[in-house]
Amino acid sequence: MSEQPATPAPTSTSPRLRVAPSPTGDPHVGTAYMSLFNLAFARQQDGKFVLRIEDTDRTRFREDSEQQVFDTLHWLGLDWDEGPDIGGPYAPYRQSERLDTYRPYVERLLAEGKAYHCWCTPERLAQMREIQQKTKQPTGYDRLCYGKTREERAELPGFSETPVVRMLIPDDVELTFEDLIRGRVSAPRPDDQVILKADGFPTYHLAVVVDDHEMGITHVVRGEEWISSTPKHILLYQWFGLEPPKWAHMPLLRNTDKSKISKRKNPAARLTWFREQGYLPEALVNFLALLAYPPAQGAEGEDVEVFTFDEFSKDFDWRKVNPVGPIFDLKKFEWLNGVYVRKLSVDELASRLLPYLEAEGVLSGNSSLGELARLRKVTELIQTRMALLTEAAPLVRPFFVGDDEFEYAEDALGQLKEDAPAVLDAAISALGDVSDERSGVLGSESAWQAAAIEAALRSAIVEGMGIKPKFAFGPLRTAVSGARVSPPLFESMEILGKTATLNRLQRLRDHLG
* Residues annotated as catalytic (active site), given as ranges: 263
What residues form DSSP beta bridges with 118? 164
261 near 29, Cβ under 8 Å? yes
Bridge pairing between strands 48-51 and 296-297 = unpaired
Q: 68 to each of 21, 28, 172, 271, how far by Cα in Å?
A: 11, 10, 43, 9
Please tell me the distance from the alpha carbon of residue 283 to that of residue 478, in angstroms, as a whole number: 34
Residues 6+ apart with CB under 8 A from 503: 403, 404
Separation in Å, CA 270 to CA 50, 180, 338: 22, 28, 21
Interatomic CA distance for residues 57 and 250, integer angstroms: 23
| Residues 380, 405 contacting (CB under 8 angstroms) | no
- Angstrom CA distances, 346 to 374, 379, 489, stand at 12, 6, 19
The strand ranges marked E within 251-352 are: 296-297, 303-304
Nearest CA to 22 out of 77, 62, 50 is that of: 62
Task: Give me the count of residues in the chain.
Answer: 513
CA distance 195 to 192: 9
* Residue 343 is labelled as binding a ligand: no
Residue 263 CB contacts under 8 Å (≥ 6 apart), including other chains:
25, 26, 28, 269, 270
- 59 SS3 class: coil
* Backbone dihedral angles phi then psi of residue 215, each to the nearest 5 degrees: -95, 5
Phi, psi dihedrals of residue 142, rounded to the nearest 5° = -90, 5
Alpha helices in 21-169 (DSSP H): 29-44, 65-75, 99-111, 122-134, 150-154
| Binding residue positions for ATP | 263
